[in-house]
Structure 1
Amino acid sequence: MFPGTEAQEETLMMELSRLVQEQVQGSSWWELRGKDCAILGLAFVALAPGFLLLRSSSLLLFSLGLLLLGVSHAAITVKGAHLSSHSSLTRSPLLNRIWAVFFIEVCGAFSADAGVQAHIKMHHAHTNVLGLGDSSTWKVPGLSRSLYLFIAPLAVPVITPLVALAQLKHQPLLSSLRTLLMVSLGLWSHFWILVHVSEFGSTLSALGCMFVTRNFFSLPYIHVNIFQHIGLSMFSPEQRPKRIYQMSHGVLNLPRNLLLDWTFGHSLISCHIEHHLFPKLSDNMCLKVKPIVSRFLALKSLPYQQDSYLSRLRLFFDQYQELMVLAPPITELVGIQ
């Protein structure tokens, strides 16, 4: 039981927001946005040697090229798309919008409008609310646990543009045409570079390389999506706790991981709680305010949930039926509804 009135909850959130805002106001541009922009810049720089290394007859150099392209593609399409969709890359709404279309549609082969609707307007607005923001997009009850966790994610590069096409019927005509043009431009450009710069001799080999490099992080991408919410407190659309209780009970942080920190960003890995409480903060700022948030929640006797990647993987493998096939039970947080 967690007693608390609406006024008390608002006071808690205002108090935490004030502490976080003090950190934000005392931070430099490099801390606010520069570091994350630099990481994305390095990802783009790494594309050139990656494509050139694919021309090598050396297996080692060729593999290094694949690795560079796989890591860069993940950083651009996950970290870049996530930050721009949250308007965290620049102070300009227009520039954030342009970057979101570029990262999500041109580089990620998905609809920017559909992505923002699903992530910002549904997942963040209704975190862990069943049927709204409960990561239900990635549930496939007909699959076994092994297929779902280890095989199905490898189809993400193929499924993503197909889902984007299916979403076009729900969008205005001009938005649909833009998405179709940008996705086509991104896929064609990737293929053209592999043929004319990396010197792939056949269409099949170029398409195969596209599939491999776009698939490097498909497994952790799906895993992270479900690990940090499903299996935690779930709420009904009619009854949900106030924001600070909802996020502290329904969001989990994973440990820091050098590769995933680089490709996905801190806000999707070790600072997911901070991200859900303050979604407009950049990855680096989420990391900077992490000690403040963890101390505050502990002081107010609220949970600050953390677990390891392998521990969550074991949990989902052992309890796949309960967590991913059947609907998780609704949590009743008495006194804070």
Structure 2
Amino acid sequence: MQSVPEEWREVMKRGDSQVKDGGAGAGEAEKESYMMELTRLVQKVVKESSWWERRGVDCSILAAAFLCLPPAFLLLGSSRLLWFLAGMLLMGVAHAVITVKGTHLASHGALSESQAWGKFWAVFFIEICGSFSARAGIQGHIKMHHAHTNVIGLGDSSVWKVPFLPRIIYLFIAPLAVPIITPLVALAQIKGHSLVHILRTAMMVALGLYSQYWLLINVSEFRSPYGALLCMLVCRAMFSVPYIHVNIFQHIGLPMFSSTRRPKRIYQMTHGVLNLPRNPLLDWMFGHSLINCHVEHHLFPFLSDNMCLKVKPVVSKYLTEKQLPYQEDTYLSRLNLFFHKYQELMVFAPPITELVGVQ
């Protein structure tokens, strides 16, 4: 395994010791039964839920985001500053909902029970809307991040790690470049794939970017192509700072494990995942599974945002009863931690060796 700095050896040691303590008290068979028992409780809730609860609520939120786009384009064509700013804000919010919540749900196949429709929505949201490769996104997120959460060298970190940047730049300025970096990374990720796959991804990403540009020129009536491009950048980067924050807050700094000493799933997820408190703005834009139900999401990644919220009381109660960690912290508390321990958590952290994908 790669060399790990002393600070991170302590984090790994803390994670391994917690797992060993849990195993000593419960035994391997009991560890396994915990996950099976919790799964049965959650499945019972899911079976008793309507389609509206399982998928309808989240599909309606995504539909509302798309319905916000026509008035946003019209407002951006206004000569009045207030209306123009309202249009920019409306488009920024809609873009965040579609490209964060939509791509995340699509990567998990949570938008439809049909596999065919699931693949369609993955391409639509991840490639056309999100300007990224659907195959690379699913590979990195599902097969790496979820399968190897907080395992050093595998699913151990965020999509965004640039240790040479100063903390102020990293936390508050560099994320604004995410809309530019994302399609470039997508192009790098499709190298080595079949020609058909490369052409499809490149065409879908180009279609999404050009569609917004064309509408700004022809509907919003931007006179300058540079003005339209700048508007695209501002709208797409509007919530990239909290997106990157959420991306790193919920895993980095928590117990981590070596690939040769990984715990049972329920221990891995309860020790290596953290929930943020409910936030009306971020809950709607990013989804419950990325904010206040991240523990539930990692335990049951096939659930939609609304279902994660519905099973949250069941999961938290069960973990508490079994004396397993149910980690929660506030956004400001995590920001303060990363600001003051940036060197330890981000600079000296071991580099990720695989793409993690959307968080």
TM range (shorter): over 0.9
Alignment of 1:321-332 (within 5 A): 321-327=343-349
Residue 59 of structure 1 pairs with residue 59 of structure 2 = no
Alignment pair present for 1:124 and 2:136:
no
2:64 corresponds to 1:42: yes
For residue 314 of structure 2, what is the aligned residue in structure 1?
A: 292
Matched, 1:280 2:302: yes
For 1:172 and 1:116, the matched residues in 2 are separated by: 17
Aligned: 1:96 with 2:149 = no
Query: For residues 13 and 113 of structure 1, what CA distance do their matches in structure 2 show?
Result: 29
Aligned to 1:177: 199
Alignment of 1:161-176 (within 5 A): 161-176=183-198
Q: CA deviation at 1:130?
A: 1.0
**Aligned match of 2:353:** none
Q: Which has the higher contact order (CA 8 A, sep 6+)?
A: 2
- Which residue among 27, 42, 48 is the counterpart of 2:49? 27
**Structure 1 stretch 137-146 or stretch 194-203: which is displaced more?**
137-146
**Could you tell me how far 1:141 is from its partner in structure 2?**
1.1
How big is the shift at 1:216? 1.1
How much does 1:173 deviate?
Answer: 2.0
Q: 2:260 is matched with which residue? A: 238
| Aligned twin of 1:315 | 337
Deviation for aligned residue 1:136: 4.5
Alpha-carbon shift at residue 18 of structure 1 (Å) = 0.5
Secondary structure of 2:277's match? Answer: coil
Relative distance call for 1:136 and 1:272 in structure 2 (3 A) is: closer
Distance 1:136 1:27, change over 3 A: closer
Matched AA of 1:191: Y
CA distance in 1 between partners of 2:267 and 2:293 (Å): 17
Distance 1:183 1:163 in 2: 12
Check whether the contact 2:217–2:223 (CA below 8 A) recurs between aligned residues: yes
Displacement of 1:6 in angstroms is 2.4
Residue of structure 2 aligned with 1:10, choices 25, 28, 32: 32
Alignment equivalent of 1:151, drawn from 145, 152, 173: 173
Where in structure 1 are there 5+ consecutive unaligned residues? 329-337
Residue type of the alignment partner of 1:151: I
Is 1:83 paired with 2:66?
Answer: no
- Sequence identity percentage: 68
Q: Answer yes or no: is the 8 Å Cα contact 2:159–2:247 preserved in 1.
A: no
8 Å contact 2:158–2:247 — kept in the other structure? no
Distance, in Å, in 2 between the alignment partners of 1:229 and 1:216 is: 23
Q: Distance in 2 between matches of 1:46 and 1:114?
A: 29
Q: Normalized against structure 2, the TM-score is what?
A: 0.90
The TM-score with structure 1 as length reference comes to 0.96
One-letter identity of the residue aligned with 1:112: A
Name the counterpart of 2:246.
224
1:141 partnered with 2:163: yes
Distance across 2 between alignment mates of 1:67 and 1:171: 38
The number of residue pairs the alignment matches comes to: 328
Q: Which runs of 5+ in 2 are unaligned?
A: 1-20, 351-359
**How far apart are the structure 1 equivalents of 2:176 and 2:273?**
26
